Structure 1
Amino acid sequence: MWSPIYKLFSTPKLITFACLVIVAYLLPYYILGEDTHIRVHDNLDSNIVWYKLLVESGQLFSPATLPNVINGLPRSTLATPFDAMVWFYVLFEPMTAYTIGQTIMRLVAFIGMYMLLRNRIGTPFISVGAALGFALLPFWPSGLLSIAGLPLALHVFLNIREHGKKTKKYNWLVLILLPFFSNFILTFIFFLGLMGVFWLIDWIRLKKSNWAFFIAITSMTVLYLAKNYLLIYSMFFNKGFTSHRTENDLGHNDLAETLELFLHNFINGHTHDMAVHTKIIIPVIGVAILVAAYRNLRPKLLLGLFIFNALISLWYAFWYWEGWRVLKDQIMILNTFNFSRIHFLDPVVWYICFALALWVLWKHLRFGKMLVVALIITQCVLVFNLNEENKYSRIGTPTFAEFYSENLFDSIKKYIGKDQSEYRVVSIAMHPTIAQYNGFYTLDTYNNSFPLKYKHKFRKIIAPELEKNATLENYFDTWGGRLYMYVSELGKHYMFTKNSDEELENLNINSEALSNLGGDYVLSALPILNNEENGLKFERSFENAKSPWKIYLYKVVA
């Protein structure tokens, strides 16, 4: 009965079909270009601009500062020059670089997961289907292969662990290349730590050292450390730079909130590492475990990985538990480094579990093959529909071109009429990276790290607004990565289009502190009705048909 279907869905045909699906997923970027809707959070509002500013600064290899941001943003707070994504921005326009990144991410995710599952599952349809579902996940865009490349990395390390010196050379080539396409701090520090644990267990259990496996782990670690030389320099040798992260005060959840966070992350995942596993994958794993129990099977790997993901979510939740404060207040690295990020390994583990569970249904359930086909198709449809153009056009966020609105900001530049290096601006009710993208020198920003002294100076400007809103005050003081012109009545909302009927009636900023820091102009996406009380002179408003924004320009006269 199944032989004609096996011929129809042969492995080469399955792989070809999967690649065509990936091409369809990527088509909006190639067809629409800058008119594509893409993610705003930790993307348009940050990373894309960081790459652009770095490339335009000419400071790729230098430890100097970038004058465009906060009167001198340390170079070490931006990407390493040995990051492949940086060179995409060197060679191409930002949206083209972004599209190349998306393409590499999807293809490597598919190839890596397929190769990982191919010889370990034994069923081509499941291997290709699970790999396709993984490749279509809404990965954090600037992570490149930080998550998407983990299956390939795991495949390579398992090969080296198994074959030692006889491992095929392509595995070592992949091991050398991956660090330049991925982030050590985000995921691979945890991945390599786990590989180290495997090596240690093997050494203790087998009483034998697998030196090829050990060399693979240490080699990749050394490559990452060399790649991130600027970060290491700033941490251990640049005594003049104290990061704002030293004052991080995160993690005050009580036990009930901690358990709630655990359940939320385990069931729904995190915005940066969504596995889209709630509707299909978790129920499939549950059914597979019941079928295995009924058939007297022992799916140890499936159960082990399922429990591992539960433990990862538990660790993530407890990282923000108030009980940790005792240690975090005493040990600096526990404040400045986010050890909970091991949860970025979640998607890989979920899709391996998905493939293992599908194999149980395929082999041990009546009509299991038909069910598996239906489940894989359903899961792939779910993740395909989360492609950026579909998701964000439906939500209604701006396209790439609309978000940065270059023509609109060109008209503001011309009106001011001075070289942009001669004055400083801040933004209200909008992300400051929009102004940065358009060449303005900004006193506000969003960055992973910046000087603590500057944070204290900037706080004086927004102190009156923070005093009116305990949530904003806590957000800024305990983290502060978003160095924004917060407004109490707007809360943590930073996008207001020209169709908004919001008006700022009770703004209260310290304009003297703004002037002392070098502030000359305020760009506001909303009208400030009490501008004169804040030492601001209204100049004029700017809008055009192609931009979603209406910008109100105010001159600081305090």
Structure 2
Amino acid sequence: MFARKEWWHITVASMALAVYVAPLFLLGEDAHIRVHDNLDSNIAWYKVLAGSGEIFGPVDASIPQIINGELSRNAFGPEMSGIVWLHAFLPSMAAYAVSQAITRILAFIGMYLLLKKHTISGPRHQWVATAVALAFALTPFWPSGMLSTLGMPLALWALLNIRAGEKRPINWIVLLLLPLYSSFVLGFFFFIVVAGLFWVVEAIKTRKWNLRFLLAIAAMTAMFLLVEYRLVYSFLFDDEPNSRDEYFHARLPFWHAVRLSLKNFFLGHTHVMTVHGLFIIAATVMALGIIFTKKSWRKEKMFLQLLVLNIVLSVWYAFWFYRGWLPLTERFHFLDTFNFARFHFLRPLVIYTGFALALKIIADSGVAWRKAAAVLAAAQIVLLFMFNDEIVYREKPTFRQFYAEKQFAEIGRHIGLPKNEYRVASIGIHPAIAQYNGFYTLDTYNNFYPLSYKHEFRKIIAKELEKNNVIREYFDEWGGRCYLFTAELGKRYMFKKNSKATLKNLELDTSQFKKMGGTYIFSAVPIMNAEENRLQLERTFISKESAWKIYLYKAF
């Protein structure tokens, strides 16, 4: 049972969480949320998948709405993933809001349980566990990752319980259910590898084979492989060259990698934002000062180990892109196609566990220090509230403005044909917008599609790529964004209706566009030399509810 004071702390934390996610529910489609790797991709993918009839499609099925049906069903989320079903049963924005709430609630519970039982146990530091768990749950995680990083404390709590000999079924239930709401390759693969290494090291040191601990790791791995069977199939049996085969990561000079290490250590990464560069770093420095003063190295061993691990993860992330890897990547191709840099996805768990230990060290140093620890914890929570999507993305389009459903419905009515009878592509806006609105697109944002399609699509924009090395390298050496890139617009694809940008020297291979089935181009900017590109402006579409002004061009 929780003590009365503990209940009060948890109640306050729960209210804070509710306030944090409230804008998503109260504003609905008028809420501002992340665009990158969210509105521009995943949310549209879930809707396309739900409408395709291929949620349970076989491993050789394809999604007809995207890139002429050459996009494999396996490139989308597995049918056993909870987020897929949220988007299948609920409107997209409602599904997003519910997913945010689920993830943050379980993140709080997991971190609280981990800290309370395995890190800073005892009623004296219960407030630290609650404050840090709340802060951890407020971090701006990558939305479609779900519990891929924020679920790690819960998984670690269950594993450590089993390791200690605890026989409660809840530990096994947690490990077997987490794969249903997280991603293997976007978080838990790396967690499981480190857990396995920990088991090996411990077995060698103690000469005891903790088989229950090993079985728990194996059971969680097996559940992930079952849920992600499409990924397993693609990795083992799909030998068709795909866009990942032209991804080259090892390109940074040594000192660039060093700078990236420092940047990652202090600022983090967009997919695992920890917002730790101010108050958590301050708490870490203060705790280190106290350890130096008291010479309490052994007593604070866990804190120091986590700090070293944090540094190692940042260095590993940065040096994964060091060009010194080239001899190995040229020999072992999977080193390019699988992103091993993502071991740094462990950092939210490491950083916030270390933050809790730092606060404990500071609070144990006297009354004044205890007040300082409380201020640091409160300041971190306030800072994270300032990173709420509604604040961070207030200058970006809202959900409604981004997908502009009424505007694109009007475009569809103007064209007047069944959408599966023609193909479109976009300039100056993300193709996910057209996809969300049911149009069949030649362009897409996916990092796993046939390499042959990428090469065919490249012919449309070949002259534009020749004029701009940035977009040429971006397309040729990655290609996840299979977009109609232009030299004049570069790597920008969100030109709102008040933009003054124009395309004056566009050079598209319209014959290739038509050969691939293309008929219409949705452009967010006017094409001044449209006729030279065998494009005819049919109509311009503007809507109060849309962020875009769409110029509809038809290829002739």
TM tier relative to shorter chain: over 0.9
Q: Is the 8 A contact 2:6 2:126 kept in 1?
A: yes
Q: How does 1:163-202 map to 2 (within 5 A)?
A: 163=165, 166-202=166-202
- What is the distance in 2 between the residues matched to 1:110 and 1:230? 31
Deviations 1:423-478 (A, max 9, x none): 00000000000000000000000012100000000000011110000011011111
Deviations 1:238-267 (A, max 9, x none): 34x321101212221101111111111011
Partner of 1:428: 427
The TM-score, its normalising length taken from structure 2, stands at 0.97
Q: CA deviation at 1:509?
A: 1.0
Partner of 1:47: 42
User: Aligned partner of 1:378: which letter?
Assistant: A
User: Aligned partner of 1:204: which letter?
Assistant: I
User: Aligned partner of 1:147: which letter?
Assistant: T
User: Aligned partner of 1:467: which letter?
Assistant: E
- What is the distance in 1 between the residues matched to 2:355 and 2:484? 45
Alignment of 1:378 with 2:379, yes or no, is: yes
Q: CA deviation at 1:198?
A: 1.4
User: Aligned partner of 2:47: which letter?
Assistant: K
After TM superposition, the structure 1 stretch with the greater mean CA deviation from structure 2, 166-175 or 460-469, is 166-175
- What is the distance in 2 between the residues matched to 1:214 and 1:400? 44
- What is the distance in 1 between the residues matched to 2:198 and 2:349? 17
Q: CA deviation at 1:384?
A: 1.0
Partner of 1:358: 359
Q: Is the 8 A contact 2:243 2:447 kept in 1?
A: no
- What is the distance in 1 between the residues matched to 2:242 and 2:196? 30
- What is the distance in 2 between the residues matched to 1:183 and 1:535? 44
- What is the distance in 1 between the residues matched to 2:360 and 2:134? 16
Q: How does 1:143-222 map to 2 (within 5 A)?
A: 143-163=145-165, 166-222=166-222
Partner of 1:485: 484
Partner of 2:132: 130
Alignment of 1:36 with 2:34, yes or no, is: no
Partner of 1:305: 306
- What is the distance in 1 between the residues matched to 2:249 and 2:289? 40
- What is the distance in 2 between the residues matched to 1:302 and 1:235? 38
- What is the distance in 2 between the residues matched to 1:334 and 1:238? 17
Q: Is the 8 A contact 1:130 1:351 kept in 2?
A: yes
Deviations 1:137-194 (A, max 9, x none): 001001110011111111111111111xx42111111111001111001111111111
Matched residue count: 545
- What is the distance in 2 between the residues matched to 1:382 and 1:82? 35
- What is the distance in 2 between the residues matched to 1:237 and 1:305? 39
Partner of 2:10: 15
5+ unaligned residues in a row in structure 2: which ranges?
none
Partner-residue secondary structure (3-state), 2:425: strand
After TM superposition, the structure 1 stretch with the greater mean CA deviation from structure 2, 525-534 or 194-203, is 194-203
Partner of 2:243: 244
Q: Percent identity?
A: 46
- What is the distance in 1 between the residues matched to 2:95 and 2:386? 23
Partner-residue secondary structure (3-state), 2:393: helix
- What is the distance in 2 between the residues matched to 1:98 and 1:286? 37
Q: CA deviation at 1:366?
A: 4.6
Q: Is the 8 A contact 1:291 1:365 kept in 2?
A: no
Q: How does 1:39-118 map to 2 (within 5 A)?
A: 39-62=34-57, 63=59, 64-72=61-69, 73-118=71-116
Q: Is the 8 A contact 2:46 2:87 kept in 1?
A: yes
Q: CA deviation at 1:235?
A: 2.4
- What is the distance in 2 between the residues matched to 1:146 and 1:339? 15
- What is the distance in 1 between the residues matched to 2:255 and 2:198? 34
Q: CA deviation at 1:385?
A: 1.3
- What is the distance in 2 between the residues matched to 1:410 and 1:366? 64
Partner-residue secondary structure (3-state), 2:77: coil
5+ unaligned residues in a row in structure 1: which ranges?
1-6
- What is the distance in 2 between the residues matched to 1:43 and 1:291? 42
Partner-residue secondary structure (3-state), 1:329: helix
- What is the distance in 2 between the residues matched to 1:197 and 1:249? 28
Which portions of structure 1, spanning 4 or more consecutive aligned residues, are displaced by more than 4 angstroms? none
Deviations 1:278-303 (A, max 9, x none): 01111211111111121221221111
